[in-house]
């Protein structure tokens, strides 16, 4: 596995730059008391999400040039090895993994540690300031697709869409996050939580999970707001399949009342 490591192998990755991925600043006091040595604290709300913009969904990407600059301020360059962890494997870590890959960081792994055994190696010491500023990071716009591109691909039947949300939201039974249930037309359902268990998935498990996925067309991945979809992107990368994220995802799609929605009921 190139994107995930189990807690048993953490000792072999102490050369990496550690990034803690959380939801918001409320986790900062706990982080300050216990974190992996040298870690930097990042959150979905403050670092991985931008300002609300019409059509961009509930968690729009931040200005990616600013995010790149922030990461370079922490000392990151394309060849900097990075390890992301948090309170168990979570969607905040997945989003951060994807964003780092999208700005050109080549070697990024997530610590798969549902029981959070990493705390046994925790410290309250603050991270040292980077010895030098990183360089060479910039956003690759080919890593995303906007709403207009999704519409065109659907109309021309030129892509395979993957919906990463849970089955009830996809089917159209209910949606407690967004005001409309259902899914983007033609999308296939692969809930991100299916392979998010106490056991880290291996390559055979991933291949079996996606064995019926058509791969003859570009793969477009979405979820509710672009936060959990990166888990499917990571898994597909493990088996050699390239993907594109629709960051606005379903919450962005339904902002346009003219966009069609499918249900399975």
Which range (5-19, 154-168, 169-183) has the least confidence? 169-183
Could you give the domains of the chain? 4-139 (3.40.250.10), 144-253 (3.40.250.10)
**How far apart (Å, rounded) are the C-alpha atoms in residues 210 and 214?**
9
Return the HEC string of the chain: CCCEEEHHHHHHHCCCEEEEEECCHHHHHHHHHCECCCCEEEEHHHHCCCCCCCCCCCCCCCCHHHHHHHHHHCCCCCCCCEEEECCCCCHHHHHHHHHHHHCCCCCEEEEECCCCHHHHHCECCCCCCCCCCCCCCCCCHHHECCHHHHHHHHHCCCCEEEECCCHHHHHCCCCCCCCCCCECCCCEECCHHHHCCCCCCCHHHHHHHCCCCCCCCCEEEECCCCCCHHHHHHHHHHCCCCEEECCCHHHHHCCCCCCCCECCC
pLDDT at residue 223 in the model? 98
pLDDT digits (tens, 9 = 90+) for 55-98: 899 999 999 999 999 999 999 999 999 999 999 889 999 999 99
pLDDT digits (tens, 9 = 90+) for 25-62: 999 999 999 999 999 999 999 999 999 888 899 999 99
pLDDT digits (tens, 9 = 90+) for 188-235: 999 999 999 999 999 999 999 999 999 999 999 999 999 999 999 999
Per the prediction, the chain carries an average pLDDT of 96
Q: Which residue has the tokens 């705390």?
A: 119
Confidence of residue 131 (pLDDT cuts 50, 70, 90): confident
pLDDT at residue 257 in the model? 94
């Amino acid at each position: 596995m190139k994107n995930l490591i189990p807690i048993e192998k953490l000792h072999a990755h102490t050369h990496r730059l550690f990034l803690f991925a959380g939801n918001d600043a409320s986790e900062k006091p706990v982080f300050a008391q216990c974190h992996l040595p040298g870690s930097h604290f990042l959150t979905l709300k403050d670092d991985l999400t931008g300002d609300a913009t019409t059509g961009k969904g509930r968690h729009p990407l931040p200005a990616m040039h600013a995010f790149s600059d922030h990461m370079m301020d922490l000392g990151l360059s394309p060849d900097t090895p990075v390890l992301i962890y948090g309170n168990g494997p979570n969607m905040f870590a997945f989003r951060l993994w994807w964003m780092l890959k999208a700005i050109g960081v080549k070697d990024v792994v997530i610590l798969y540690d549902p029981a959070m055994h990493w705390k046994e190696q925790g410290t309250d010491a603050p991270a040292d300031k980077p010895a030098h500023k990183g360089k060479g990071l910039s956003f690759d716009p080919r890593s995303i697709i906007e709403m207009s591109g999704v519409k065109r691909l659907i109309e021309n039947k030129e892509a395979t869409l993957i919906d990463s949300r849970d089955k009830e939201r996809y089917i159209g039974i209910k949606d407690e996050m967004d005001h409309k249930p259902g899914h983007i037309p033609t999308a296939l359902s692969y809930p991100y939580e299916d392979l998010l268990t106490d056991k880290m998935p291996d390559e055979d498990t991933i291949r079996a999970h996606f064995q019926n996925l058509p791969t003859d067309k570009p793969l477009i991945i979405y979820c509710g707001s672009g936060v959990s979809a990166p888990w499917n992107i990571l898994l597909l990368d493990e088996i050699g399949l390239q993907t594109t994220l629709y960051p606005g995802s379903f919450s962005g799609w339904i902002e346009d009342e003219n966009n069609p929605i499918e249900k399975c009921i």
